[in-house]
Amino acid sequence: MANGIKAAGLAGILAVVLATAAPASSTTQPDSTPRQGQAVETRLDASTSAVTYWVSETDGWHVVTTVDAVIGRDSDTEQHAVVRFSSLLLPGQSQLISVPFATGERQQVLRIHRIGDQIEVAQVPGSSV
């Protein structure tokens, strides 16, 4: 139980922002435009990756992203903070998922955008502190 609580606490530091307006323009090219049910993996940084897929339902397109942040990689104390985000995207809507970052580094942001009959998954520039 304690491990589950620790993982939940670590997962709690991951931030999700849902946006319903068109995303800001970016020069970043999409990582992929997956077909329904096709999983796309995106490396957000050296210790964090995200897997995204979508399925079409009668109420819209359900997009699921699972983020795995590894702490203490390749050590006896390696731990994974795994969180799953699910959203319903209508045409023109986006979901932004960001992970914590160190001072002086650039924040890593994953943008999932529904454009007509496609889902675009792209890593976009975030802020830097």
pLDDT (tens digit, 9 = 90+) per residue, 66-118?
Answer: 999 998 888 899 999 999 999 999 999 999 998 877 777 778 889 999 998 88
Question: Residue 84 is inside which H or E element, if any?
Answer: strand 79-89
What per-residue confidence (pLDDT) applies to 128? 57
Q: Does residue 13 carry a pLDDT above 70?
A: no
Looking at per-residue pLDDT, the higher value among 21 and 36 belongs to: 36
Residue 35 CB-half CA count within 13 A? 0
Contacts of 47 (CB under 8 A, 6+ apart): 69, 70, 71, 73
- Quote the mean pLDDT of the chain: 76
